[in-house]
Amino acid sequence: MTLRLELVLGDITAEDVDAIVNAANHTLLGGGGVDGAIHRAAGPELVEYCRTLGGCETGEATITPGFNLTARWVIHTVGPVWHGGGHGEPELLASCYRESLARADEVEAETVAFPAISTGVFGYPIEAATAIAIETVRSTPTNVSEVRFVAFNQETVDAYQSILDLSTGTDL
Ligand code: AR6
C-alpha cells in the first residue's frame, strides 16, 4: 500500500482522521501546548482514562479513545527534551514516530495526524525535527494509508517545506 503524506496548517484537534498524535509528557495527565488543546477538546474523560495507564517513557507511545474529539483515537507519545542533540534526541524523536505508527496499526487506523513533536516546550530545533518526522514516517513499514503533518504556525509550515519544497495541502 502506498503511504500518502500531507501538510496542513491548523489545529490538530479539529482534524478528521482516525487518530491524532499528542505530544505528551511522562505523566500523560495533560499539560500546555498541543497536549492541553487535545485534553480540552477531548473532555475530562481523557484524563480519567490516562490516569489508569501509569505514564509513558520518552520515545514510546500509548493509545486511548478520542472521547469528544472527531478522531476516534489519541496516540500519546513523549518526545525528547532538547539538550543540544548529543543525548539521543534524534533517535528518541524518530522512535516517537515509529511507535505512534505501530499503535495506529494495532487499532487499524488508516489516517493519522501528527503535530511537530518536541518543537514547542521541549525545544527541539524545528528544521531538524521536521526532517526526522518525514524521514521516519517514510521509512517505517505501516498499514496507515495517510499521514497528515499538522503545523500550528507558519514557521512550522516553512520548516516542512524547506525540506520538501512543496505547497501546503499538496502531496508531499
Ligand atoms: N495543533 C497542532 N499543533 C499544535 C497545537 C495544536 N492545537 N498547539 C501547539 N501545537 P508542544 P512539545 C504545536 O509544546 O514541545 C506540554 O506541556 C506547537 O506549535 O505542544 O513536545 C506537554 O505536556 C509545536 O510546533 O509539545 C509536555 O510537557 C508542537 O505543537 C510538553 O508540552 C509541539 O509543541 C511537550 O512539549
Query: φ and ψ at 21, to 5 degrees?
Result: -100, 135
165 is annotated as an active-site residue = no
For ligand 1, whether the C-beta of 113 sits within 6 Å is no
Catalytic residue among 35, 105, 165, 171: 35
For ligand 1, whether the C-beta of 81 sits within 6 Å is no
Contact between residue 148 and residue 17 where contact means Cβ atoms under 8 Å apart? yes
Q: Which residue has its alpha carbon closest to ligand 1 atom 34? A: 120
Q: What is the pLDDT of residue 28?
A: 98
Helices (H), the chain: 33-42, 44-51, 89-106, 126-139, 154-164
Model confidence at 167, pLDDT cuts 50, 70, 90, reads very low
* SS (HEC) of 69-103: CCCCEEEEEECCCCCCCCCCHHHHHHHHHHHHHHH
Q: What is the pLDDT of residue 166?
A: 44
**Which atom of ligand 1 approaches the CA of 153 most closely?**
19
For ligand 1, whether the C-beta of 25 sits within 6 Å is yes
Q: How do strand 4-9 and strand 73-77 relate by DSSP bridges?
A: unpaired
As beta bridge partners, residue 146 has 4, 111
d(CA 143, CA 164): 23
Q: Is the pLDDT of residue 65 over 80?
A: yes
Give the sign of the dihedral formed by CA 26, CA 58, CA 123, CA 171: negative
Q: What is the pLDDT of residue 162?
A: 86
**Which atom of ligand 1 approaches the CA of 124 most closely?**
15
Buried b (16+ CB within 10 A) or exposed e, 59-71: bbbbbbebbebeb
Give the pLDDT confidence of 81-121 residue by residue, as tens digits.
Answer: 999 999 999 999 999 999 999 999 999 999 999 999 999 99
Give the pLDDT confidence of 12-61 residue by residue, as tens digits.
Answer: 999 999 999 999 999 999 999 999 999 999 999 999 999 999 999 999 99
Model confidence at 165, pLDDT cuts 50, 70, 90, reads low
